[in-house]
Structure 1
Amino acid sequence: MYDLDIKEVLARLPREAVDARNQRLKRAMDLSMKHDSQLLRVLVVSQVKKENAEREASGALPLYQCTIS
């Protein structure tokens, strides 16, 4: 949402300055979304680890067994 003053300022700026501003805004939004995705992955991994620890503590068999060599 634009403030009318901001709209007027953008109208007075050279086209190159407006384009550069728009690119910075797009980049900021892109980085923000990527950060959210990384955070979601961390949360999902931590949830799975917690569930596996609870399963192991209760004596239940693991859902899967895997080794990394």
Structure 2
Amino acid sequence: MWDSASDQGQRYYRQGSQALGNMDGATLGGLFAAGALGFAIAWLIFGQSHASRDVARRMSRSSESHR
């Protein structure tokens, strides 16, 4: 079972490396910009004040309400 999981992980790694190698600069820049925008939106939603424990507390309350 371990060998199968290891082989599959290696295949995924090779496929991901090939996909990233085939990207041009514009695509890679677009992905980076989308990630930065997502981070900025999350920062605005959860607020800049209070450290990460406040964010964790809010996320915990949010997940408890869905149970």
Same fold per superposition (TM over 0.5): no
TM-score, normalised on structure 1? 0.43
TM-score, normalised on structure 2? 0.44
The structure that is helix-richer by fraction is 2
Greater C-alpha radius of gyration: 1
Higher RCO (C-alpha under 8 Å, 6+ residues apart) = 2
